[in-house]
Amino acid sequence: MRTKELFITILLITVFSVSQLVAQTISGVVSSSDDGMSIPGVSVSIKGTTIGTITNIDGWYSINVNKASDILVFAFVGMKTKEVELKGRTTINVALEADVVGIDEVVVTALGIRRESKAITYSCGTVASEQISQMSGSNAKRLFGKGRNNIACDMEYLAAPVHNTEGYTAIHENGFKDVKLNPLSTFSIDVDAASYSNLRRYINSGSLPPIDAVRIEEMINYFTYDYPQPEGDKPFSINTELAKCPWNEDNYLLHVGLQGKKIATDELPPSNLVFLLDVSGSMSDYNKLPLLKSSLSLLVDQMRAEDRVAIVVYAGSSGLVLPSTSGKNKNEIKSALNHLNAGGSTAGGAGLKLAYKVAEENFMEKGNNRIILATDGDFNVGQSSNAEMERLIEKEREKGIAISVLGFGMGNYKDDKMEIIADKGNGNYSYIDNLQEAKKVLVNEFGGTLFTIAKDVKFQLEFNPAKVKEYRLIGYENRLLNEEDFEDDKKDAGEMGAGHTVTALYEIVPATKENNDSKLKYQSTSLTEEALKSNDLITLKLRYKEPDGFKSKLIAKAVTTELISIDETSNNFRFSASIAEFGMLLRDSEFKGTTTYNTAIRLAKGAKGADEEGYRAELLRLMKSAELMKQSSAQR
Predicted confidence (pLDDT) per residue in 138-152, tens digit? 333 333 333 333 333
The predicted pLDDT at position 6 comes to: 57
Q: What average pLDDT does this structure show over 555-568?
A: 93
Helices 571-587, 615-635: inter-axial angle, 10-degree rounding: 30
Phi, psi of 413 (to 5 degrees): -65, 130
CATH architecture label of 270-434: 3-Layer(aba) Sandwich (3.40)
CB atoms within 10 A of CB 175: 10
The predicted pLDDT at position 4 comes to: 59
Stretch (H or E) spanning 631: helix 615-635
* CA-to-CA dists, residue 574 to 313, 323, 336, 567, angstroms: 44, 48, 46, 9
Q: What is the mean pLDDT of the chain?
A: 82
Q: What average pLDDT does this structure show over 144-166?
A: 40
Q: What average pLDDT does this structure show over 320-341?
A: 95
In this chain, the answer to whether the domains covering 23-158 and 270-434 adopt an identical fold is: no
Which one has a higher pLDDT value, 20 or 418?
Answer: 418
Length of the chain equals 636
**49-59, pLDDT tens digit by residue?**
767 787 876 78
Q: What average pLDDT does this structure show over 106-121?
A: 33
The predicted pLDDT at position 449 comes to: 83
The predicted pLDDT at position 158 comes to: 32
Give domain 23-158's CATH number out of 3.30.70.141, 2.130.10.10, 2.60.40.1120, 3.30.1360.120: 2.60.40.1120
List the alpha helices (DSSP H) in 400-526. Answer: 415-424, 435-439, 446-450
- DSSP-derived 3-state class of residue 238: strand
The predicted pLDDT at position 512 comes to: 84
Q: What average pLDDT does this structure show over 331-351?
A: 85
Is 127 a residue whose pLDDT tops 80? no
* CA-to-CA dists, residue 59 to 30, 41, 43, 358, 418, angstroms: 5, 7, 11, 41, 30
**324-333, pLDDT tens digit by residue?**
999 999 999 9
The predicted pLDDT at position 521 comes to: 67
**503-530, pLDDT tens digit by residue?**
999 999 999 876 666 666 677 777 777 7
Q: What average pLDDT does this structure show over 160-169?
A: 66
Parse the chain into domains and list their residue ranges.
Answer: 23-158, 179-263+453-630, 270-434
Report the percentage of the chain scoring pLDDT > 70: 81
Which one has a higher pLDDT value, 318 or 109?
Answer: 318
The predicted pLDDT at position 215 comes to: 97
The predicted pLDDT at position 141 comes to: 34
Q: What's CA 573's distance to the chain center, in Å?
A: 21
Which one has a higher pLDDT value, 426 or 126?
Answer: 426
The predicted pLDDT at position 134 comes to: 35
The predicted pLDDT at position 16 comes to: 47
The predicted pLDDT at position 80 comes to: 83
527 and 465 Cβ atoms separated by less than 8 Å: yes
Q: What average pLDDT does this structure show over 111-129?
A: 32
Is 136 a residue whose pLDDT tops 60? no
Q: Report pTM.
A: 0.78
Separation between Cα atoms, residue 472 and residue 483, nearest integer Å: 16
CATH architecture label of 179-263+453-630: Sandwich (2.60)
The predicted pLDDT at position 100 comes to: 44
Banded pLDDT at 557 (limits 50, 70, 90): very high
**39-98, pLDDT tens digit by residue?**
877 888 888 876 778 787 678 888 888 776 789 998 876 678 899 998 888 899 999 987
128-132's contacts with Cβ under 8 Å and 24+ in sequence apart are 129/45, 129/47, 129/48, 129/73, 130/43, 130/45, 130/47, 130/73, 130/75, 130/81, 131/43, 131/45, 131/75, 131/107, 132/45, 132/50, 132/52, 132/108
**585-618, pLDDT tens digit by residue?**
999 999 999 999 999 999 999 999 989 888 999 9
Q: What average pLDDT does this structure show over 296-318?
A: 91
Q: What average pLDDT does this structure show over 400-409?
A: 92
447 and 498 Cβ atoms separated by less than 8 Å: yes
